[in-house]
Chains A and B, each alone.
Chain A
Amino acid sequence: MKHLPGVILFTLLLLPRPGIAEDMIMTRSVLAFPEAMLALQESIAAHGYTVSRVQRIDIGLTGMGYKTDKYRIVFAGKIDEIRELTDKAPQLTPYLPPKISIFAEGDQTILVTINPKRYAEIAGDAIAPVFFDRWESDLRSIFYDVNTAR
């Protein structure tokens, strides 16, 4: 029984994963923006991350007189991890906290983020690659949740 969680995790990792481009992770949700945003925030929390801020890009643009659709940036992270990164790889600090862009496209919603493997590239030897592999795995799982939420 002790192997079951690992087997399930492995199985989940082999399921279709949203948006496997090398440099970015993207997915589409058939949900309208508000519902997709809710699904995203719930999944982020379920994966143990804290949403630290939501930047409402569309509100800023509209306030300045530009016409736009819904566009938000969701910042999220785990404080222990953020502190480890700024301590061991300060060159990553300008890229923190990690963020996810979420924007409406018609009556659906698109999510995009940088593949954490690119952060590994910036951190160099200061942080073990497995750290960012786990981030990538979590992000793909979060995107999968939003992609399949109904």
Chain B
Amino acid sequence: MSREDYEIVMGLEVHAELSTKTKIFCSCPTEFGGEPNTHCCPICMAMPGTLPVLNEKVVEYAIKAGIATNCEIAKNSKNDRKNYFYPDLPKAYQISQYDMPLCERGYVEIETEEGKKKIRLTRIHIEEDAGKLNHDEYGRGSLVDLNRAGVPLIEIVSEPDLRSSKEVESYLRKLKSILEYIEVSDCKMQEGSLRADVNVSVRKKGATEYGTRTEMKNMNSFRSIVRAIEYEADRQIDVIENGGKIEQETLRWDDVSGRTFPMRDKEDAQDYRYFPDPDLLAIKMSDEYVEEIRRNLPELPESRKKRYIEEIGLPEYDANLLTASKYLSNLFEGASAICNNPKAVSNWIMTDITKELNERELEPDQIPFTAEQLGNLVVLIDKGTISSSIAKKVLVELFENPKDPMKIVEEKGWIQISDEGAIKEVVLKVLENNQQSVADYKAGKDKALGFLVGQAMKETKGKANPGMLNKMFLEELNK
């Protein structure tokens, strides 16, 4: 038996920090960073006698996420306590949701090599984040910072519908993009505002029962997730092939050694003794309230994609790439509105902008120039003020030192020469200096024209209007 005889089965629990201004049960700010314990109050520090009050935006954002992922929204919901001891959890319980989550039974669609695939969601519930333990560098103890304690999270739980690390990556990217579009989370994986627990099991192809699963906690980069899945699936197949049995356990992925390690003592099998939090009251959602949120939901990537294909006539591949990120999509729409040439804008994003992003290792949300500036660049090309080869240079400038493209062009002296007299002068000079090409052209070698135009471009440092050059060369050559 080899690896090809096995199928990997995975489900994800994705935690996304909500971008509310305040924490879930108190009025402390959620802002990332800050001096330790300065975004805290007696409530999120679990001082005796304090009482939580639920932030209304947390409920609204969770319902938004539920609607955007095709979930049913509960009419009745509540908060429960999940009990465990850990020093980053000051109450010794986390307020979460157990049997009555806000959202259930949804799905998101991902693209796979075999076409579209629905990944079912079990549920989305709200809960609070824990604090952070800083380990003393001398190993004498730990230091507790509770700035993150009480920051609102949604946990999005999928069914075990994922079959490869590639599918897991597409699913995560899709979720991230949806949450960004509906503006409920900024999904910055490097800051931990989007992280995933991955449940992995393997089984022989064709088997109907699931294998025993292991869980890898708190993964926060696409790269580690893919590596960890590959490693863990291989490990499990090895164990089974050697006649062993997979233990159900929680694992920690170590990025440095590229291995997984058991995290908890198996004896303390998870037993969180959930019960309804008596400090909080029931949550009831009226149809009107849910409808209101549905009506005001920003346009989702799927719908934008459809519009780009059907109304603008972009190829599906381009529409996919443009809508994969809210930032690219907004850039595209904003620039198109200014220059009224969406196909040109799309080409710029698909080619030169994507290339610059890759070379500079930037994410779309880090693009330094505005949609207006990109739109104005396309206007300059369309008006004939600059050639497209100059435009490429302007784009690099937009990445380096963003300002209005017209200003860049003026300052650099890059304005296209469209003056007939000036162009004629260049054409005559190039013809004079390239008698051989002229002879070639007259002998029927059309390619010679391209060479002559190229020479004229070189002569003018790319500033000559290429259409006019072409026309004038033809006139002179055919005289």
Are A and B co-members of a single complex?
Answer: no
- B residues adjacent to A (C-beta < 8 A): none
- A residues adjacent to B (C-beta < 8 A): none
